[in-house]
């Protein structure tokens, strides 16, 4: 399942979550501020090793670094990661 590493204060995260819901793509939200140290380390690694950035996505071992939300590029990244998209998405 697609994992969305997020923070409650992040407007890009909320946009991404709303978009995923509208597209009917199953996902799990992981609040990075409540996550354990190992999870935070993984997210930092996915974002170049300097800091954690949200929203960061993980799907079957593939990562999309935190780079905000823009629907078209978000969709392209999900397709690249192998996330199954609904026919009308």
- Determine how β-strand 27-31 pairs with β-strand 2-6: parallel
Residue 9 has a pLDDT of 96
Residue 89 has a pLDDT of 57
**Would you give the DSSP letter of residue 61?**
T
The whole-model pTM stands at 0.91
**Would you give the DSSP letter of residue 1?**
-
Bridge partners (DSSP) of residue 12 are none
Name the helix (H) or strand (E) containing 20. helix 11-23
Q: Could you please state the CATH topology (level 3) that the domain comprising 2-81 is classified under.
A: Glutaredoxin (3.40.30)
User: Distance between CA atoms of 29 and 50, rounded to whole angstroms?
Assistant: 22
Q: What is the mean pLDDT of each run of 10 residues along the chain (89 residues)?
A: 97 97 97 94 92 94 93 95 84
- Determine how β-strand 56-59 pairs with β-strand 62-64: antiparallel
């Amino acid at each position: 399942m697609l994992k969305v590493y997020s923070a409650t204060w992040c407007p890009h995260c909320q946009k991404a979550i709303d978009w995923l819901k509208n597209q009917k793509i199953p996902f799990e939200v992981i609040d990075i501020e409540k996550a354990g140290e190992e999870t935070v380390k993984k997210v930092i690694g996915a974002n170049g090793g300097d800091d954690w950035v949200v929203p960061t996505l993980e799907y079957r071992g593939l990562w999309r670094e935190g780079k905000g939300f823009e629907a078209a590029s978000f969709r392209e990244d999900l397709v690249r990661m192998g996330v199954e998209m609904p026919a009308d998405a």
